[in-house]
Amino acid sequence: MRAAKQATAVRREQIAAAALSIVASQGLSAMTVARVARLVGLAPSALYRHYAGKMAILDAVLDLLHDRILGNLAAARDAAGGLDALHLVLQRQVALVLEFTAIPRIIFSDEVYGKAPELKAKMHALFADLTEKLALLVRRGQEDGSVRPDVSPRSAALMLVGAFQPCAMRWHLSGGTFDLAGAVAENWELYRKAVAAPVKEKRDSQ
Amino acid sequence: MRAAKQATAVRREQIAAAALSIVASQGLSAMTVARVARLVGLAPSALYRHYAGKMAILDAVLDLLHDRILGNLAAARDAAGGLDALHLVLQRQVALVLEFTAIPRIIFSDEVYGKAPELKAKMHALFADLTEKLALLVRRGQEDGSVRPDVSPRSAALMLVGAFQPCAMRWHLSGGTFDLAGAVAENWELYRKAVAAPVKEKRDSQ
DNA sequence: CGCTAATGTGAACAAAAATTCACTATGCGG
DNA sequence: CCGCATAGTGAATTTTTGTTCACATTAGCG
């Protein structure tokens, strides 16, 4: 059975989306040309009409990931202010856990970097971009008084990621058994102890 | 040239050590039977005299990792008390960064788990063991008054890992450019704000 | 000193995966 | 409606890697 003809722009999107979904659910090494092709409904050789090779597909996956993550961050920034925005980011990360789990899967893949160092640079840019924008959120919290002024925004941003990462690791290893949301909520309490401005008569969103 | 004959017990250790060093420095997918064999100074086929296959080698690598990490933790536990022990763990993690970087590399490998789910369980046990022992350190700190009593030891343990993980990720991505030790030190300051007992006239080791 | 079990080796094999290519089908513009 | 550029396909190729096996060598032991 032959697949219907589609414009290359359409196929490129389908292929990148399929590849991301495979990486997110089964890991990078499971992302073979054959599997991506099957998910899209094409023969493996057809992918080469739309991408130069596997690495080009992976490059597109990284772009997709970049958009999703930073989009998520922007949404949190607009939906709440100060400390609450940080809280929202953390909660949304849990919701996006599949895609966020795909990040370390790529970061520590090594299958990639040996052959395509430019992807490593791209990933680094994404990570740097993420922490930088998180630091901006922290600074905004300092300006409106919900975050104590003596914390380093850069550090507070990294720690927010750190409040999530180990939980995601355990969740990943446990095969879904580990109570991800609960552990993240607990970590948020701890995180708030570190970064929240001392409460006078201010009320928290909780 | 033929390698000298060695007892299988010796070879097993050499092979596991070589494999770990490759995983730590170049990643899991770089750990091929051929490369391990070359590092030990044997022909690839010789490895099968000592291990059933690649997965058995990886299993031994996990054991090695387990010993190193928990050994490191035990050393920190004995060298300092309370909060200082936690600080020491963090600093030692930086020193052990290569091997600690090997952990996420394995955790998120997926190349492994699809074929050998029991390795995933083993990795999970290591991670659970690590956080549990860290939680014990936290509890000890609470007993001697250096850690505030209202934090969850489990959460504080996870967060300590989280104070290190994102820094290691950036360091890994930056190719060594990122100031790992500096970022971790900064995060420690933040971490201490969250978990340290309010200072009355108590003096810190810093 | 010689036997035997253990260890080492190269060649061959199998499996998986990325990529190429000659060829086929299709849909859109004129 | 026709033709051509575009998209799709299966088969073949190449590369990499794990594994097996028949044979060679060695070290320890009686």
| SS3 labels along B16-48 | HHHHHHHHHHHCHHHCCHHHHHHHHCCCHHHHH
Nucleotide nearest to B115 (CA to C1'): D18
Q: How far does the CA of residue B197 sit from the closest CA of chain A (Å)?
A: 11
Rounded CA-CA distance A102/A24 in Å is: 5
B101 touches strand C (CB under 7 A): no
Average pLDDT over residues A146-155: 96
* pLDDT single digits (tens) A160-202: 999 999 999 899 889 889 999 999 999 999 999 999 998 754 4
* Cα radius of gyration rounded to whole Å, chain A: 20
> Other C-beta atoms within 10 Å of A145: how many?
13
Q: How far does the CA of residue B16 sit from the closest CA of chain A (Å)?
A: 20
Portion of chain A with pLDDT greater than 90, in percent = 74
pLDDT bracket for residue A139 (50, 70, 90)? very high
- Residue B27 has phi, psi (to 5 degrees) of 95, 165
| Mutation choice for B interface testing from A89, A103, A165, A195 by most B CBs within 10 A | A165
Taking alpha carbons only, the member of B62, B49, B182, B48 closest to residue B113 is: B62
Looking at per-residue confidence, does A172 or B53 come out higher? Answer: B53
Rounded CA–C1' distance between B126 and D2, in angstroms: 69
Nucleotide nearest to B114 (CA to C1'): C16
Specify the pLDDT at position A202.
Answer: 43
Average pLDDT over residues A68-89: 94
Taking an 8 Å cut-off on Cβ atoms, the answer to whether B110 and A189 are in contact is no
Average pLDDT over residues A85-106: 87
> Alpha carbon B121 to chain centroid distance?
16
Do the Cβ atoms of A114 and B30 come closer than 8 Å?
yes
Give A48's Cβ-side CA count (13 Å radius). Answer: 5
Specify the pLDDT at position A1.
Answer: 75
In degrees, rounded to 5, the angle at the alpha carbon of residue A139 between the alpha carbons of residues A138 and A142 is 90
Rounded CA-CA distance A114/A103 in Å is: 17
- Residue B43 has phi, psi (to 5 degrees) of -80, 150
A55 touches strand C (CB under 7 A): yes
Rounded CA-CA distance A119/A23 in Å is: 15
Taking alpha carbons only, the member of B82, B64, B203 closest to residue B141 is: B82
Q: How far does the CA of residue A170 sit from the closest CA of chain B (Å)?
A: 7
Portion of chain B with pLDDT greater than 70, in percent = 97
Specify the pLDDT at position A93.
Answer: 87
Instruction: Tell me if residue B196 falls in helix, strand or coil.
Output: strand
The gap between the terminal CA atoms of chain B, to the nearest Å, is: 56
Specify the pLDDT at position A203.
Answer: 45
* pLDDT single digits (tens) B72-109: 999 999 999 889 999 999 999 888 887 778 888 888 88
Rounded CA–C1' distance between A28 and D11, in angstroms: 27
Taking alpha carbons only, the member of B201, B206, B169 closest to residue B188 is: B206
Instruction: Tell me if residue B81 falls in helix, strand or coil.
Output: coil
Q: How far does the CA of residue B26 sit from the closest CA of chain A (Å)?
A: 7
Taking alpha carbons only, the member of A75, A206, A195, A77 closest to residue A146 is: A195
Among A14-28, A188-202, B118-132, B150-164, where is mean pLDDT lowest? A188-202
Rounded CA-CA distance A164/B166 in Å is: 10
Dihedral of CA B31/B35/B36/B39: which sign? Answer: negative
Nucleotide nearest to A3 (CA to C1'): D8
Specify the pLDDT at position B195.
Answer: 97
B110: nearest CB among A26, A169, A183? A26
Taking an 8 Å cut-off on Cβ atoms, the answer to whether B169 and A26 are in contact is no
Nucleotide nearest to A47 (CA to C1'): D8
- Residue pairs spanning A and B at CB distance below 8 A: 166
Taking alpha carbons only, the member of B127, B193, B204, B119 closest to residue B158 is: B127
> Other C-beta atoms within 10 Å of B11: how many?
19
Taking an 8 Å cut-off on Cβ atoms, the answer to whether A155 and B186 are in contact is yes
Portion of chain B with pLDDT greater than 90, in percent = 74
Residues 6+ apart with CB under 8 A from A84: A146, A205
Instruction: Tell me if residue B147 falls in helix, strand or coil.
Output: strand
Do the Cβ atoms of A181 and A94 come closer than 8 Å?
yes
